[in-house]
Amino acid sequence: MKRAVVLAVATLLMTTGTAVSAESKYIHLGPDGKLVYVPYSNGDRIPDFSRAGYGGGGVALPEAPVRQTVTPASGDDGARIQQAINAVSALQPDSSGLRGAVLLKTGVYEVADAVTIRTSGVVLRGETGTVIKATGTKVRSLINLSGVDNRKEVAGTRKAITASYVPVGTHRIKVSDASGFKPGDDVVVVRTPNQQWVDATGTDSCSTKGTSYDTSDVDGVTCLSGTAWTPAARTIHYERRVTAVSGNEISVDSPVVEAIQSEFGGGAVYRYTFAGRIQNVGVEKIAAESAFSSATDEKHADKMISLSAVANAWVRDVSSQYFSQGTFYASGKSKHVTVQDSKSLDHKSRITGGLRYPFHLGDATHVLVMRSLASTGRHDFVTGSNTPGPNVFLDSRGEQSHSELGPHHRWATGGLFDNVVHSSVNGNQILGAYNRGNYGSGHGWSGAYQLFYNCTGDKHKLASPPHARNWSIGTKSKSREGNGDFDSHNTPVTPRSLYLQQLQDRSGPSALRNIGY
């Protein structure tokens, strides 16, 4: 998509809604034009989400040179496309880490199975009029960007976090011994919850009902009658990079997005390696269609693009039609991914649980989805169980939605929904985060430290978990409910976009231009 068209789409998204006029009590512009963060008494504050996206945010997507060209032929084209991918994968990368692009010339391609990029520096690109039809009845992702999910802890490097409380938003973490860390180290910050925390969140098996840790949220849900949470199941590993070491305190590039409390099990920091992760891979300018036999058929390709164990990857200017899930799914500890100017349309499946997740983040972090559209989905822009933040959905729209928009399943953390518009077919679906209790398979709390900023929805439901928070700032809705931290409801605030302002504060106006603003 040419830059003028990209900017036109961005302008349309940015002008849908009431003019910005108010100021948030949690975060606002100071005299120097930069954000001022107002902390709570325990030190929690709105975190900086600006490291989400390719290259750590604010970095222009690269343009890989074309090394192989494919044209349509009669019959199945999958093997020829895969051969071209393999040929580019065998090339040496250039100084920027790119091997090159496979260009699919204008025309219609049939693929009965899938195509996969397994090597760093390879891009699959189409041009105006390039369409891939996923034929047959096999349920699969049509295009895969796949590394090997083999992240490993470096033995002997794990150090306990010593602070009794590490607040959300901080970049500084005190450990028992920081002598083994240095700037540039890739580390994992892990919170290690205990059973007291499970009990306190009301996601236990009801055995603690009536004790000091028996809690209720706005819906009165105090435990799960189905599958209870366990400490091991809610242990989340957050990848960060060390930026400074001072005594036994380390600083990291992205902030803490889930409070770490010694009372509830504390946490640790350790170095890691990730030999199987691939980088600098992407999909561009392709339309895809999934063959189907009826409006409720599910025996066909379910996803257009899936990512696993990748970093610094991108999807831009793509669209999908008729898939039972949608356009994009990221998992396998994928990191620093940008999805932009893309669509997920006309899903074909039953309208029921587990289907129609157009833009879906699983075990993935630092993902930026922006200027994108979902239509006829269920959970249009969604995170899954234990999705580790920060992650950002920006200037995007879900139309004719059949269900909720926000975190789904269990305890995603550090999500920003920034200028996301959600409209449902019945005008009564939820935009928000709350305790889902025994919904589905016994979800419990869908997310914590989730922020809905200048969004628009039909019904806004927001509840804060015990000992955690969920925020709504400047969001408009026909109705609202919950004990979450609502601020300036139905009156949008300035700055218009939190992510863009945070990015500009950190890296300057050029970072905004790099991503099409």
Split at pLDDT 50, 70, 90, the class of 212 is low
Last residue of a domain, one of 241, 258, 273: 273
CATH number at residue 162: 2.40.30
pLDDT at 15 over 60: no
- Asked if 122 and 223 sit in the same domain, the reply is no
Position 479 confidence tier, pLDDT thresholds 50, 70, 90: very high
pLDDT value, residue 444: 85
Q: What is the pLDDT of residue 214?
A: 56
Residue 362 and residue 457 in one domain: yes
Contact call for residues 383 and 355 (beta carbons, < 8 A): no
Segment 328-336 shows an average pLDDT of 98
Q: Are residues 167 and 306 in the same domain?
A: no
β-pairing verdict for 326-331 and 236-246: unpaired
Q: Model confidence at 8, in pLDDT bands (50, 70, 90)? A: very low
pLDDT digits (tens, 9 = 90+) for 235-251: 999 999 999 999 999 99
Residues 254-282 pLDDT 10s = 999 999 999 999 999 999 999 999 999 99
Q: Which residues of 10-44 are buried (b: 16+ CB within 10 A; e: fewer)?
A: beebeeebeeeebbbebbebeeeeebeeeeeeeeb
Identify the burial level of 452 via C-beta atoms within 10 angstroms of its C-beta, where 0-12 means exposed, 13-18 middle and 19 or more buried: buried
User: Where a domain ends, among 258, 273, 288?
Assistant: 273
Residue 224 clears pLDDT 90, i.e. is over it: no
Mode of pairing for the β-strands spanning 35-37 and 27-29: antiparallel
Q: Residue 19's pLDDT is what?
A: 57
Check residue 107 and give its pLDDT. 98
Instruction: Of 5-19, 386-400, 489-503, give the lowest mean pLDDT range.
Output: 5-19
Q: Are residues 157 and 112 in the same domain?
A: no
Of 247, 273, 299, the domain-final residue: 273
CA atoms 11, 17, 20, 25: torsion sign: negative
Q: What is the pLDDT of residue 2?
A: 40
- pLDDT at position 6 over 50: no
Residue 206 has a pLDDT of 73
> pTM of the entire structure?
0.95
Q: Which of 361, 284, 358, 280 is nearest to 316 (CA)?
A: 284
Share of the chain above pLDDT 90, in %: 86
Are the CB atoms for 448 and 425 separated by under 8 Å? Answer: no
Of 35, 13, 12, the residue nearest 23 (C-alpha): 35
* pLDDT interval class at 443 (50, 70, 90): confident
Dihedral, CA of residue 384, residue 386, residue 390 and residue 395, to nearest 10: 10
- Are the beta carbons of 196 and 264 closer than 8 angstroms? yes
- Confidence (pLDDT) at 392: 99
Given this model, what pLDDT does residue 437 score?
74
**pLDDT (0 to 100) of residue 218:** 46
Q: pLDDT digit string (tens) for 110-125?
A: 999 999 999 999 999 9
Q: 503 and 486 in one domain?
A: yes
Give domain status of residue 340, yes or no: yes
Domain assignment present for residue 469? The answer is yes
| The pLDDT of residue 4 is above 50 | no
Here the tokens at position 225 are 């009658």
- Weakest mean pLDDT among 81-85, 269-273, 441-445: 441-445
| Span 481-510, average pLDDT | 98
Do the domain assignments include residue 40? no
234 and 288 within one domain = no
25 domain-assigned:
no
Q: Which of 62, 120, 114, 63 is nearest to 88 (CA)?
A: 120
For residue 114, being part of any structural domain is answered with yes
In a domain, 282, yes or no: yes
pLDDT at residue 14 greater than cutoff 60: no
What pLDDT was estimated at residue 17? Answer: 45
Sign of CA dihedral 276, 514, 320, 400: positive
pLDDT tier, 354 (very low <50, low <70, confident <90, very high otherwise): very high
* Residue 343, domain CATH: 2.160.20.10
> Which amino acid, 435?
N
- Give the chain's domain count: 2
Domain hosting residue 185, numbered range: 152-273
Provide mean pLDDT across the span 28-34: 97
Residues 221 and 343 reside in one and the same domain: no
Q: How many CA atoms lie within 13 A of 435 on its CB side?
A: 27
Per-residue pLDDT of 137-181, as tens digits, reads: 999 999 999 999 999 999 999 999 999 999 999 999 999 999 999
